[in-house]
Structure 1
Amino acid sequence: MVATNLKSETMALMDKRSAMEAEMNDIIGHLCQPGGPGLSGNLTDSEGFPLSDIDIPVVRAERHRLSELRNDHRELTEKINQNIQVLHSARLPSGSSPPNESGNDDGLNNQNSPFVNAVPSASSPNAMDVDLMVSVPYAFVDVIADASPAAEDGLQLGDQIVKFGNVEAGENLSQRLLSEAQTNQGCAIPVVVMRQGALINLTVTPRTWQGRGLLGCHFQLL
C-alpha cells in the first residue's frame, strides 16, 4: 500500500513537473524569439537608456518567473529521484542491497546502475518503474541557433536532455557533455530527450559549421 501511494505521488509530481516544463518552454520561446531580448540580454542601449522596442517590465517579469520555475523544477526533480530510490529499495529481495557503484561516479558506465540492469522478477521494478527511473532529465536546451547541427538534427528549444551519448545524470555534467561532443566530432551521438512529456530518441552529430561550437546550442543544467 505504501509503495502504491508513493508511486501515485511520484506520477503526480511528474505531471506537475511536465506542466512546469511547458510553462518554461513558453517563456523561453518568447524571450528567445528572433529579435527578442534572450534569457539574459541587456535591456538598455550603450548609453544606458531602456530599449524602445522591448517591453522591459514584461521581460523582467518573465525572467523572474523562469528563475522561480527552474528552482522549483530542481526541487521537484530531487523529490522524484528520492521517491524512485525508495520504490526501488522496497522491491529489492530481503537481505540484498543495491549494486556497489564505487569507482563509477562519472556515470559513464551503466553496468552497476540498479536503474538500468533491471531483470524482470518478483523483486524487480516493473516497466513503469523503470521508465520513471531512466527518464529524469538533467538539462534542457535553452538556446539553439538556426541552421545549426543541433537544429538540423532535430533538437528543439526546450527539449529536456535525459541522455546525451554516454552522459546521463551525475557529477561534472558540463565538462562531460563538452567532452562527449568533442570526442565524437563528426560521429552520430544517440540522444534521448523529453519533449512535452514524451521520450524521443534522436541522433545528433557534432560538427563544424558557420556558427560557434559543434552543435550551435546551449544546455542549461537543471
Structure 2
Amino acid sequence: MESVKNDDEKVTMDSVKKLIAKRDEIDRRIAKEEENNIDMKKSLVDSEGFPITSVDVYSVRRARSAIICAQNDRQKLTSEIEKAMLTLHQQKRDCITPRNELAAIVDNIPIVHRTSNAPFAKIAKVMDASPAFRAGLKNGDQLIQFGSLHAGNFTDIKELSVVVQNYMNKPIRVTVLRSDRPIRLELVPRTWSGKGALGCSVLPITPAHI
C-alpha cells in the first residue's frame, strides 16, 4: 500500500489525492462484498459444531476475511491522509505549498465525498470547560462530518481517535445535526484538566437509532 513520503519530503495535493483515490477504491471493494449481505458475526456452525448446510461456509469466510482486510487498509489510509493534511498545513506556514493549492486540498478533502447529512455518531457526556464544550458541542448532537469522516466512509469508531490524535492542538472541521439542522463547528483536541482530548463521549449510530 502506497504511503505518504517521510517528513523530509514535500507532500503535494497530488500525493494526497492518490491516497484518497486508493481509499475510495477500498470503499468500493467493501461495498461490493456487502452487496451479498454478509453477516460478520453470525455463527457458521450449528449447536453441535457442524457446518450449517444452508450456508456456503467457504464463501462467507472468504468475504469476511476480504472485508476485514479492506477495513484495516482503509483505517491505515485514513491515518496517512490526516497526517498528510497536517504536513500541508505546516508547509503552508513554511511557505512551501502555494496558498491556492493548499486551500483547494483543505476545502476539498473533508466534503468532496459527503453526499448526505446522514449522522454516523452521537455526542454524549460533554464536560464543562472541555474542548468539546468550548467548541459548542452539546449532548445529543449527531455527527455528520468529523474532519474527513462522514457517513459514506465511516466504518469504525476508532477512526475518530485517529483523527483526534493527528489533530492535537489543531482545529477539526465538525458538522453536527441539531434539531434537524446542520451546524458547523471547529473542535480543537488538546490536553486539559479533565479526561481525554475532547472531554466528551462519542457513540456510533446504527440505522436502528437514527
Please classify the TM superposition score into its range, dividing by the shorter chain length.
Answer: 0.3 to 0.5
Q: Could you state the TM-score of these two structures normalised by the residue count of structure 2?
A: 0.45
